[in-house]
Amino acid sequence: MNARTFWARLTARRPAYAFTILITLAVGILIGTVVSYGVRGQESGKSSSADATPLQVPSPRQMSNTFTTIAKQLEPSVVNINTETTIKNPHRRIGPPGGGGGGEDDQNPFQDFFDRFFGGQGQGGQGGQRGQGPDMFGGPDIRERSLGSGVLVDPKGYIVTNRHVVEKADRIRVKLKDDPPGVTHDAKVIGTDQETDLAVIKIDAPRPLPTAKLGNSDSMSPGDWVLAIGSPFGLQETVTAGIVSATGRNIVPARQFQNFIQTDAAINPGNSGGPLVNMSGEVIGINTAILTETNAYAGVGFALPSNTVIHVYNDLIGPEHRVTRGSIGVEFNAQAIPAIARVYGVNTGVTISNVVPNGPAAKAGVQVGDTITSVDGKPVKTGDELVADIAGRKPGTKVDLGVVRNGKKVDIPVTIADRQKLFGARLGEEEEGGGPPQPTQSKLGVTVQDITKDMQDRLGLNNTNGVVVTDVKPGSFADDTGLNRGDVILEVNKQKVNNEDDFNRIVSGLKSGQDVVFLVRPRGAGAQGGTIFMGGTLP
């Protein structure tokens, strides 16, 4: 029986079987075709590679090597810093379980500046990690670890870094570039300076260590190339390049000694305390902060200038291990307000908004509203210039202040005091104003009331005249000048304000286009606290 006869009988008797066989044959043919094609393709590929030329590794070629040379020169002097801090568990219960003990987190609502920029120690911003260990009550303590960088500046093992890298650390360990894996050196703190966020630490050097050379930061200008070296996220010996974006950046107005170099060289958590280097291989800054909303590089970094670092370092390695700065006990507005100059009749200089009681300036006769125009005959144009001059002088020395008072020039000799002793003990926690306000609305958009006895007690304003701001209308003149609820207005345009009647009388005489300057004691400053000017031109 031939194949055709077999197929005819099969389809007639069992058509389902015939269909199955047909599909199976078709699939087999298809697979065979694919396999055959694949084999043919492989065979074709093998035969067609005969004319391919093998690739060769080229000989090394010298590229532009400025960055490479600087990095190799500086890397041995840049160290990795690892700290451990043990924090007692704030949630632990003292007493029997279920007894209702325990408490809430004792958190500070005013988060530190460097927590914002670097995430704080152990929060991940410096490559932080957390572990736990038992405390005396059976609850776990929190052990925080953080990473940062530092720069060797003395072959005996002295290192410059940021204060916030080593602050409150129970243990500080330093890893050198050539240390084998797992080898670190315990470090001790020599001194720290809160106002510049700098610290000096020291390790026992097993040998004379390689050091970095510090340059003059005043020579840097926007557009100059710089390198940042450090341990971002714990990655040691990381080098990034950029330029100087700006100089003299004051990113924290309350800290007068932090005028930063801004750079776009990539700086990330862990770079803190590492060097910013110029094209001569000199350290011209210590990387301190980044401006970011993601806790990572966003193109804006800040380094403390090397000239500031040198002065602070020399004080911290001295016998007292602290920075001594001079002060005459005066305060002024951080930002210049043109209206102040016009109201007080001066074109240049620093107009004093507060004189510290019993301080050097007060004893010498300096008054609120005086404008300091020179120190020992040297012209002073800005508050930064005045602070830099006075702070650099030793306590006990004398200076002659050139002062303009009511349009007349006078010379006032003043003996400089220790800034820390003069301002260190000042109190003044923020308090909310007490009692329901009795509003006196003015055309300036501010509501004020007399200082009651209850306010004096709550706000520490004993024997203080003036009026308390109880409300500020959004978008008003008062709002634009910076007045806030709880501020105490002492003067308006050099006229004393003892109560609401005085305030209303003075304000009623103000006209559109007129300059208005308030002398204000900010909320929380207390009776012995500082005063500032606020002002502008009335619309």
Q: Which residues are catalytic?
A: 164, 197, 272
> Phi then psi for 7, rounded to 5 degrees?
-70, -40
Q: Which residues of 201-234 are buried (b: 16+ CB within 10 A; e: fewer)?
A: bbbeeeeebbbbebbebeebeeebebbbbbbbeb
Instruction: Give Dmax (Cα) for the chain.
Output: 135
Indicate the DSSP class of residue 44. H
CB 483 within 8 A of CB 518: yes
Q: What is the DSSP string of 283-335?
A: EEEEEEEE--SSSS--S-EEEEEHHHHHHHHHHHTSTT-S---EE-SEE--SS
CB 468 within 8 A of CB 451: yes
Quote the CA–CA distance of 212 and 153 in Å, as a whole number: 6
Quote the CA–CA distance of 359 and 530 in Å, as a whole number: 12
Quote the CA–CA distance of 258 and 430 in Å, as a whole number: 24
- Token readout for 145 is 């670890």
CB 471 within 8 A of CB 478: no
CB 272 within 8 A of CB 167: no
Quote the CA–CA distance of 232 and 274 in Å, as a whole number: 10
Rounded alpha-carbon distances, angstroms, from residue 73 to 178, 219, 427: 14, 21, 48
- What SS3 state is found at 60? coil
Q: What is the DSSP string of 152-207?
A: EEETTTEEEEEHHHHTT-SEEEEE-TTPPTT--EEEEEEEEETTTTEEEEEE--SS
CB 284 within 8 A of CB 306: yes
- Token readout for 118 is 């670097």
Quote the CA–CA distance of 444 and 477 in Å, as a whole number: 5
Q: How far is CA 384 from the centre of its chain?
A: 19
Q: How far is CA 317 from the centre of its chain?
A: 25
Q: How far is CA 50 from the centre of its chain?
A: 63
Tokens 């308390």 correspond to what residue?
468
- Token readout for 18 is 């015939």
Quote the CA–CA distance of 321 and 307 in Å, as a whole number: 19
